Amino acid sequence: MSKTAIILFSDPKAGSEEALGRLFNALFLAYDLKERHEEVALIFQGAGIRWATELAKIDHPAGPLFRAVKDKVAGVCGGCADVFGSTSEVEATGLPVRRGLDIPGTTGVISLAEYLEKGYTLVTF
């Protein structure tokens, strides 16, 4: 069985088709792996944390696909949410906000090295 961590860094504020395409491709991969009963963790990191609040909107075009893989969300980076001024909005989504790795100047971020240690392949979008 494979283990894959999908990290979404793309920024919805870019307003580009590329950013939306990265979101869709991350969700496509998460869905495909879930359907194959593989271990998958979807992580929102960096400016990608902003997708959490976008996907909470009922009419977002990626909403149905996101809801199909929402149970695979391992976390939204808390330190990143703080840096981008989105903490309260991210917390309101109900997704897990994680701060496991103490990094100077932050309130803690998700450790990607932890996933590597556990044998995950990291895929970034």
pLDDT digits (tens, 9 = 90+) for 15-47: 889 999 999 999 999 999 999 999 999 999 999
SS3 (DSSP) at 14: helix
How far is residue 28 from each of residues 74, 75, 98, 111, 125, measured CA to CA in Å?
Answer: 16, 18, 23, 23, 11
The CATH number given to whatever domain includes residue 99 is 3.40.1260.10
Q: 68 is in which domain, residue-wise?
A: 3-124
Prediction pTM value: 0.95
Number of domains in the chain: 1
Q: What percent of the chain clears pLDDT 70, i.e. is strictly above it?
A: 100
